[in-house]
Structure 1
């Protein structure tokens, strides 16, 4: 995997590509993959590159070590106690979270260990999430006198308001089964099956029309911010444009002719 820092340093973020699936690995295991400014910068650069790469069909976000992500690097935050610095840091983090959803392809969080505070936000910002049955989740800023305001944005868009608020004001950990029940993750599997389950989900995505996936992801998030009537009007227009794609014509013809479709590759 190519390093995204200088050759003399261990890379904070690693990337690998395999048949249309790009894997990004957080690589600060000694710091529980805390989101320092450098790691956020590396993530942002990779997301910008992926957005322009038509060969990428699916992205997997994983982490090295025992933890998925412990949130912001509190030691780094306390070393720069300035309001403008804090504003810049949280804007940077918010840009990364929005960048995950701005990608035209699905992003799957592959979660082992703990995901806390901005790490839990990272899970909630991915389109899909699969965790090991030993994973645990919390938004724990309130324990250090800091309400997890930016994680609250992603969290409240994944689960009910009351569930999200409970996590935010109690900092209580939830286990993998609760995360599944509350809507934070799509699946919780034995740790030894985590890689296989994520790979299975990625294969399902790769088997579908690339054009339809790209239309669909963009539409899905945009319509959620609209009034019902506006959402239907927008969705109908997107669907009409999607119908004009070669893949839609091929897919319908293949269905009628009872044969597998031959998708147009990007």
Structure 2
């Protein structure tokens, strides 16, 4: 693990901490590569049940590193090849979060701007301190937040998403919760405890069941109604045949705690 991304594992919860406060935890090439590698490495790791994304310093993430981007304007193609590589890497990272078998929670203590806001929106869950702020301000500098728009528009109602995208205005944590961008808002002192409580609650569930549910949730979203019901009905049949479903139902009937096997 690199110095710009810290990693700690405790009680099945992996904390990945963006640690580049000098750039406001920008999603530089190096930061995205470190995040991608960390997520890929634990995809099949049974010791990791839940992932928390957090950050050091006053900002959660300021988005892409504009100084890094500007340096490539001097390239013969004015940076076109680099920009393609950068935004493709970002798209892969955000897609990896959605498709990752582990639930991923954003712990947001400060500003989440542009691709940083996209990072929060891509996570399955998000808890914010009341000091957190969110924006997609690309329109203010002539660069529309088109890739952040993908995650934002899938998590926030259209009118709210368009207001953020077209004005570039900053919204506070309470408005982000009202929009549906974050699950809840707590004080800065409560933030770590609130995230840990949620992470540990999820970590106590059957890992194979949680993986099944997360995967099915995202797959059915864009299906027509009848197709979604047909798909999820088959998911439930397959789920019912897993040992953890048998154990969980038996434990419920027997009024005891289930003993999960986490077997596929």
Number of the residue aligned with 1:8: none
Number of the residue aligned with 2:114: 117
Cα-to-partner distance string for 1:124-179 (whole Å, 9 max, x where unaligned): 00000000011110001111100000000000001101100000010111101100
Gaps (5+ residues) in structure 2? 74-78
Number of the residue aligned with 2:54: 62
CA distance in 2, matches of 1:251, 1:142: 50
Establish whether residue 73 from structure 1 lines up as the match of residue 61 from structure 2: no
C-alpha contact (below 8 Å) 1:50/1:103 kept by paired residues: no
Number of the residue aligned with 2:219: 222
CA distance in 2, matches of 1:184, 1:13: 24
Establish whether residue 146 from structure 1 lines up as the match of residue 123 from structure 2: no
Cα-to-partner distance string for 1:50-108 (whole Å, 9 max, x where unaligned): 11212210000000111100000000001112112101100000111011111111100
RMSD value, Cα: 0.9
Number of the residue aligned with 1:7: none
Gaps (5+ residues) in structure 1? 5-10
Number of the residue aligned with 1:97: 94
Structure 2 length-normalised TM: 0.96
CA distance in 2, matches of 1:163, 1:265: 39
CA distance in 1, matches of 2:251, 2:43: 30
SS in 1 for 2:182: coil
Number of the residue aligned with 2:76: none
* Residue 45 (structure 2) aligned to one of 36, 49, 53: 53
Number of the residue aligned with 1:247: 244
CA distance in 2, matches of 1:260, 1:21: 21
Within 5 Å, which residues of 2 pair with 1:195-214? 195-214=192-211
CA distance in 2, matches of 1:52, 1:77: 34
C-alpha contact (below 8 Å) 2:104/2:123 kept by paired residues: yes
Number of the residue aligned with 2:16: 24
Number of the residue aligned with 1:130: 127
Establish whether residue 36 from structure 1 lines up as the match of residue 28 from structure 2: yes
Q: Which runs of 4+ in 1 moved over 3 A?
A: none
Cα-to-partner distance string for 1:212-252 (whole Å, 9 max, x where unaligned): 10100010111112111111111111111110111100111
